[in-house]
Structure 1
Amino acid sequence: MPHLDGIVEASLQQVAEDLLAYSARDPASRGRIELTLEVNASFKAVMFHRLAHKIWLHGGLVGHEIIAHKLSSAGKLQSGAEIHPAARIGRRFVLDHGFGTIIGETCKIGDDCYLLSNVTLGASGIADNPDGNRHPQLGNGVEVGAGARILGAVSIGDNVFISPSCVITRDVPANTRVSIVNQLQMQRVSMSPNCNFLGAFVLGKRLHLVGELPIAENVTLLDADHRRLDSLSLECAVHERHHRQYYLRNFGAVVPNLRYPLNLRIVSQTQEITLLDPPGLSNLARYVLHPHTLYIGD
């Protein structure tokens, strides 16, 4: 078909890069590209998507969206992975054991990303979602563990590692590792060799920090864009091995356009951990900044 001139060649070039990346990064393939190409089902889903996406973008081809959907459906039937033909996926993409993985229409995935099985890159709602950008955007070098859910139009920075079974609904900055501990989303600098399990919550007018705490630490507040809030400080009231309590103090500085929710950063000599939106922290900050305003709920 003359309409396919250039489409197949461009798709094959992308598939070749995907094939080499998969064979190099998957230990079970042992570097054998013929094994990946002939027997790996999840790779077939990526192969079908490369052609389907090119056709999806080809406005001059009559029925191009239907053809693209049929190609994506063929890949789904062979692999169990559902990739919308409109999703934008960068170079050297690896979908390893991809059964049950779903990649939504407005997803954008950078180069050198690695996804495992049963990963959902979906919208935050269930039904009747609004049109437009509603799916995640992944940077370069992102790795997502099996069973993870990344929901909504969130941004995942470069070189982020998301542990299995995480549920991500907020932006994640570059070079972090994310895990879920006691239903709290916890992230740490990816270069840290070890990570203690921590949790934080507000009870009354105190911030409680519990878990495997370092002997000495520096605790600061970050806004929704992960910028440090120098106008607010935490004063330690109780210092125990596995439990710390803090008062939140206001230096009286004006905080223009403060973006909620607030996050908590704990820095010690060996590691740096960020707890995302600890329960009650944003409300406590609002109270401290505006003591005459009553806030109910979060």
Structure 2
Amino acid sequence: MWALAASLLACDTDHRADPETAGEHIDFIFEKSDRALCKGSLSEYDGFIERVFGLLEVDIPPKYRALVQIVDDAPCPRDACYRREDRVYMENLDSLGVRPAETLRHELVHAVAYQAWGATVSFFAEGLAVALSQGAEVVPSSEGPVAVHDMLGDSSLVLDYWAAGRFTRFLIDTRGLDRFKQVYNGAQTASIEAVQGVIEEVYGESFADIEAEYLSGAPRCLFQLDVCDVDVAEKVGAAWTTTFAVSCDDPDVYGSVGADDTQMATRRTLEIETAGTYRLTTEAHLYLSRCGGCDVQFRREFRYSTDIDIELDAGFYALEFVETQDTVVEVALVAK
């Protein structure tokens, strides 16, 4: 037994010395070798981990690493999960039709949150993971969010993840991170009555009043740590044009390549200085996200041969280009 443990530790140690699969805060172990990381993946995921620690207002522990193990049969209810030894298990690193790293980011939030804050009930564990790993799907005031009371005791297998994520951001936005952390830490029994009791004790309000405020009709959304990095934004005046290659061998491209397919992406963040009508032209597969609060967020997808007018307010925008083969991207955003 000890010999086996020592052998596994040695494998992990050797793996961490591999610059192809080991970053500053993340390590990959490929038990099946059907995919390889794109060159920019490690820096992208290291940066995401840093942003999650930052939002949770916790310093990254020295030498912290989340271990991601790609396996044939994940020890999970689904094909990916986080276990509480700082290890993420995944059967598929990237899948056709899913944005590169979408599932991985979700599991990395679990790893960081457990390291930073510890364990909690599924409603808040999954709610926080969705809130911090996804930057899409704003619920507009015309539709409104759904009630969450009956979900508070749900397991991860039946929980409405999106609803839990939006309610999590609502609590953080309206009542602060410190008190949300108290709720997160206090909610240890997965029952509606127990979780509701913790919420009411921490906030000094009835859950009915809190939920009524949440359902009040204001837009509800998620954080955008996956795409919005305003610290690296490029300013856009009357026009912004760029041409660049997208290949898994490029240092700013993340995702992975397999024997039969490539799932990769790269991002740009822009700061629109003047509101107005802009002409967007590109042949790329593009996700355009408005960065900011729930009152301004949106995400729109453009699939090739795009040449349209779009109204943009002043502020920050993220452009994520998702490709399945090596290509050259040309994109123009020109004020009219």
TM-score by length of 1: 0.23
Higher relative contact order, chain-length normalized (CA < 8 Å, sep 6+): 2
**Larger Rg belongs to:** 1
The structure whose residues are more often helix, as a share, is 2
